[in-house]
Structure 1
């Protein structure tokens, strides 16, 4: 059985509050070796713009209600004929005291499809983490 799920989507990036949206690629990845996490790499014209780790359960919850209080905030949004997942990503501090911010809009049904594929690999509630391996990794880094 394949333990890694990939999906590449065209998403809409809004880099400022009044800025227009523009399309970028989002490369979603799920690996059963890290069963609670999803990674997303955003790219444009062959260049990586950013990489983020997201909580798989939080992404699912963000499809139905606002979630997140830290660097990642998600909420559903409706754009007339289709529903989107709004992902707000907060980065490092700027010189003016605010933080760098980007908002990504993803077609909700594409996120739902990706999550279904991840659930086929590891069902929600059946995630396991080998504590011995985790501790060994921590001590090796230290």
Structure 2
């Protein structure tokens, strides 16, 4: 079994224009970093023209599909019957995307099969992390 899950999703950018632009995005989960989820947007879909990735907790994503969650750079909340809104806050501004909740659930179900919620600590390499922390920048 692979230790990494990647899933493509269609995100709809919320903008002031009446029509929302559809963007490709990739959700990424790695058993080596069991608490985190990464969402990446390819270069052509970003203002900078380079891939932009946001990393946030798996728990935030799961909670935010049911009730508003997050107070920092990433916030997640349900939107209507079948969508979830992800807000990404940066110095440059706020990006908001809608993703089908069913796609997020499928991704989280796959992550749950790889690392059950509550068992994340079993997949941490604390010796390596501590060594990197104590060694400092290389």
Q: TM-score, normalised by structure 2?
A: 0.86
Q: Deviations over 1:86-116 (max 9, x none)?
A: 0011011x5xxxxx11001100000000000
Q: Distance in 1 between matches of 2:44 and 2:125?
A: 39
The aligned residue for residue 83 of structure 1 is: 82
Which residue of the partner structure matches residue 11 of structure 2? 11
C-alpha RMSD of the superposition: 1.7
Q: Which of 99, 112, 123 lines up with 2:116 in the alignment?
A: 123
State the partner residue of 2:26: 27
User: Tell me, what secondary structure is at the counterpart of 1:76?
Assistant: strand
Given that 2:67 and 2:77 are in contact with CA atoms closer than 8 Å, whether structure 1 keeps it comes out as yes
| Structure 1, gaps ≥5 residues long | 95-99
- Which residue pairs with 1:43 in the alignment? 42
1:139 Cα offset (Å) = 3.0
**Contact kept in structure 2, 1:77 and 1:85, CA below 8 Å:** yes
Q: Whose helix fraction is larger, Structure 1's or Structure 2's?
A: 2
Once residues 133 and 9 of structure 2 are traced to their aligned partners in structure 1, the CA distance between those partners, rounded to angstroms, is 34
Q: Distance in 2 between matches of 1:25 and 1:137?
A: 34
Look up the match of 1:97: none
Query: Which structure shows the bigger proportion of residues in strand conformation?
Result: 1
TM-score under structure 1 length normalisation: 0.84
- 1:57-110 Cα offsets, whole Å, 9 max, x none, are 1100011000000111110011xxx51110011011x5xxxxx11001100000
Cα deviation 1:30-71 (Å, max 9, x = unaligned): 000000001111126475442100100110001100000011
The corresponding residue for 2:57 is 55
